[in-house]
Amino acid sequence: DTAVSQTPKYLVTQMGNDKSIKCEQNLGHDTMYWYKQDSKKFLKIMFSYNNKELIINETVPNRFSPKSPDKAHLNLHINSLELGDSAVYFCASSLSVGSGGELFFGEGSRLTVL
Amino acid sequence: GEDVEQSLFLSVREGDSSVINCTYTDSSSTYLYWYKQEPGAGLQLLTYIFSNMDMKQDQRLTVLLNKKDKHLSLRIADTQTGDSAIYFCAVRPMNRDDKIIFGKGTRLHILP
């Protein structure tokens, strides 16, 4: 069983489209994250949810909207896609805020905007 | 400067030791991590150290922490071709909404 799974693994789409990436974790963790990794492999946090509540919201265009229907799922919806949105998006989870626990990452979703 | 800094590239001969260095700015960092990313994969935790420790050893891996200088290093003994990857230093400062801050990653290249 994959601990943190995200779909789709690859996504190729045109500028202006709207797309979603889904993430699920079966580790029983309370906190989930979305990270963006650009072409230079730099990793930046975008959002974090703890028990369905948004706790980290970095400076991200409001075209990006996370949704957490329950603590095991954190989805990322992106409206009006732009060329600069091309990247690998990683979902991750960890134990509760303050636990100091490690992040468990999914395998990434590579988004290519044409 | 950046919260977490590390050099972007390191080349090491197979069998030698690799030392990857990292500096950070937030002295309240309680947990400090090393993650490994192989091509096409997500990040995996290699090892971590608590801020009240100076050193941690785990098989071929040795982590050294100098809190005064805010310097963290990862030593890989007897470097093998399978160690070729990007290594990310990361810190978890206190009171920053449980955010883990990553460095830009050091790409370790193994020479035959």
A51 pLDDT band, cuts 50/70/90, is: confident
Q: What is the pLDDT of residue B97?
A: 61
Residue B25 contacts A, CB cutoff 8 Å: no
B97 compared with A44, residue with greater pLDDT: A44
Are A74 and A66 contacting, i.e. CB atoms less than 8 angstroms apart? Answer: yes
* pLDDT, position A57: 82
Residue of A56, A103, A107 lying closest to B41 (CB–CB)? A107
Distance from C-alpha of A19 to C-alpha of A76, rounded to nearest angstrom = 8
Q: A51-83: buried (b, 16+ CB within 10 Å) or exposed (e) per residue?
A: eeeeebeeebeeebebebeebbbbbbebeebee
pLDDT of residue A96 exceeding 70, the answer is no
Helix (H/G/I), strand (E/B), else coil: A62? coil
pLDDT (0 to 100) of residue A58? 83
Does the structure show a pLDDT above 60 at B1?
Answer: no
- The CA angle A1-B97-A110, to the nearest 5 degrees, is 45
Rounded to the nearest integer, the mean pLDDT of chain A is 91
- The answer to whether the CB of B85 falls within 8 A of the CB of B109 is no
- Summarize the confidence of residues A87-113 as an average pLDDT: 86
**pLDDT at residue B108, as a whole number:** 97
Taking the C-alpha atoms of A49, A54, A59 and A63 in order, what is their torsion angle to the nearest 10 degrees? 100
**Continuous H helices in A1-114:** none
Q: How confident is the model at residue A1 (pLDDT cuts 50, 70, 90)?
A: low
pLDDT given for residue B40 in this prediction: 86
Mutation target vs A (from B43, B94, B106; most A CBs, 10 A cutoff): B43
**pLDDT of B51 strictly over 70:** yes
> Higher-confidence residue: B51 or A23?
A23
The residue type found at B7 is: S
pLDDT digits (tens, 9 = 90+) for B19-49: 999 999 988 888 899 999 998 889 999 999 9
The span from the CA of B46 to the CA of B28, in Å, is: 22
Residue type, B69: D
A108: chain B residues, CB-CB within 8 Å? 41-42
According to DSSP, the residues that pair with B57 across neighbouring strands are B62
B102/A108 Cβ within 8 A:
no
Do A41 and B31 count as a contact with CB atoms less than 8 A apart?
A: no
How do residues B52-101 score in pLDDT, each as one tens digit?
A: 889 999 999 999 999 999 999 999 999 999 999 999 999 988 765 667 88
In chain A, pLDDT over 70 holds for what percent of residues?
94
Euclidean distance between CA atoms B42 and B35, whole angstroms: 10
What does the pLDDT average to over A25-45?
92
Q: What is the pLDDT of residue A110?
A: 96
Give the number of A-B residue pairs with CB atoms closer than 8 Å.
57
Q: Which of these, A31, A36, A67, A61, lies nearest to A49 by C-alpha position?
A: A31
Q: Which two tokens stand for residue A43?
A: 């990793």
Contact B47, B34 (CB under 8 A): yes
What is the average pLDDT across A19-23?
97
Q: Please give the Cα distance from B14 to B30 (Å, whole number).
A: 33
